[in-house]
Each structure stands twice: as C-alpha cells, then as structure tokens.
Structure 1
Amino acid sequence: MTVLTLNQASEIVDAALGHARELGLRPLTVTVLDPGGHPLVVKREEKAGILRPQIAHAKAWGSLGTGQGGAAGARHATRDPAFFAALASISEGRIASSKGGVLIRDEAGDLLGSIGVSGDRPDNDEAVALFGIEKAGLVADAG
C-alpha cells in the first residue's frame, strides 16, 4: 500500500490554493489528513475566517470517518438528517458532511488520506480539492 507523503500533501494543498486564486474564490483553508485523521498539511489564506481550519478539518475527517466523499455525505444527510445528527453527536462535533471533503486514493484504489477545503461555496471548495488531488497524480473520491 502506498503512503501519502508530506511532499504529496503539500503539492495537493498548493495546487488547490493556486487554482482557487485562478478562479478568484474567497480566501480558503485547506487541510490534508492521513488515513488516521492526523493533519499532514494545513494552510489558511490571509483573511480566511477564523473557523475555516476547523471546518476544513471536519470535512476531511468526516470523509475518512464515513468512508465516502463529502458529496455523498451531503446527499445522504439530506435524505436522513436524523442519522447525520447522530453522527455529529457520536463524533463529538468533529464531522461535517459537505462538498469540499474528498478522499485521496492511489491508482489501485487504496485510501491514502483526505482533503478538506473551506471558505467558498461547497461546489467551489470541492472543485479545488479535486484539482489539487489530480494535479498530484492521485485519485480523488468525492462520492
């Protein structure tokens, strides 16, 4: 099984932030976690809201915890809000089921970690997450 390196995680974050600047998005925070939910890289742009690091972490952590990208989690939360309220309680508030949380896989499909992006609209957060992962030559699993 492949391991997500610090260099790869940094490349993902930098590519995501660079793409966000090209698109003219609001200031973002981007977090990459290893499969155990531990941060490898966290970057918060100047003027990003003070809760953005926690939100980005919760998006990435929620994807790892549920085993699916935030897009799938958001759809599921719409269909079964009571279940996701329970997940929020079980996780002690550490989970956010929203676009912008994406699993990172290698070409064989093995889980390497996750990314969480927060600061703009969920669709835009997800778009830059996907861009960063793909730019690093890895496989994005948004759900």
Structure 2
Amino acid sequence: MPNPPTGFDHGLTLDAAHTIARETLAEGRRLGLAPLTVVVLDQAAQLKAVLREDGCSLMRPTIAHGKAFGAIGLGFGGRELARRSQTMPGFMNAFSDLAGGSAVPVPGGVLVRDSKGGILGAVGVSGDASDKDEAAAVAGINAAGLSPDTGD
C-alpha cells in the first residue's frame, strides 16, 4: 500500500488555486475595486486558497465562500443561481437550508472548468458589486489557463 495514500483527485491544483487567488486580487486593483476577498474551492468544495485584502469588512470571507459553495453545490455559476432564486425561490431556500446557510446565489461565484468542460472547483469573490467581483474572478481563472463559468 502506498504511503501516503494515492488516488485522491480533487481537480484543482494548489498552484492553480494560488494563481487564481493572486490574479483575482490583481484584477481588482487594475479595475480600482473596493478591497476584495477571494475563496477558491476544489471540486469537493474543500478550501484550496483564501486571500483577504487589507480593508475588507468582517463578513467578506464568509460571503465569498458562500458564492463559491453555492456554485459548486449545484454546478451552476452565480448568474444562473441568481436567476433560479428568482424563478424557484422555494427550491433555493431549501438549498440554502440544506447547505447550512452557506450558499449565496449571486454573481461572483464562478465555476472553474478544464479544457473538456469538467468542473475542477469554484471561486467566490466579495468586496465590491457582484458584477465586479465576478469580473475579477473571471480574470483570475483565465490567468490560470482554466475556463470560467459564470452561469451565462
């Protein structure tokens, strides 16, 4: 038996997660956004990276995690989750309850896909308007050579 155990594939490498997080914040600076927090989750919704810029308010890490968790939880980018929260509020309320309140169905939660369309993980960004948070996440994912899926 190999030591350490092998065979676990969580999709998103630590190197890619670091690149996404770093470049997401860099894009926020280029765009002149408010201080951002970025959370990167792997395909098992486990934390791979989190960066919180100086000046972020108290709940930004929790909100960013909720955006990423919602996306990976249902397999849709935040824009689709936002649409579904409008058209299917009962289902989305149940989803939020089942997720322990840890799902935030708004733009800024972006799936990370490989070149074949497979889901590797998700990124959540919080700090500015949701559309701007999403733009920063998309830039970070692109910088890692992966494909962002915003839900559009």
Shorter-chain TM range is over 0.9
| 1:1-143 alignment runs, 5 A limit | 3-143=11-151
Unaligned runs of 5+ in 2: 1-8
How many angstroms apart in 2 are the aligned matches of 1:34 and 1:99? 19
1:37 alignment partner, SS class:
coil
Please say which structure displays the higher CA radius of gyration. Answer: 2
How many angstroms apart in 2 are the aligned matches of 1:82 and 1:112? 28
Worse-matched range after superposition: 16-25 or 74-83: 74-83
Percent of aligned positions that are identical: 45
Superposition RMSD on alpha carbons, in Å?
1.2
Whether the aligned pair in 1 keeps the contact of 2:10 and 2:42 (CA below 8 Å) is no
| Deviating 4+ runs (over 2 angstroms) | none
Whether the aligned pair in 2 keeps the contact of 1:2 and 1:110 (CA below 8 Å) is no
What TM-score do the two structures reach when normalised by structure 1?
0.96
What TM-score do the two structures reach when normalised by structure 2?
0.91
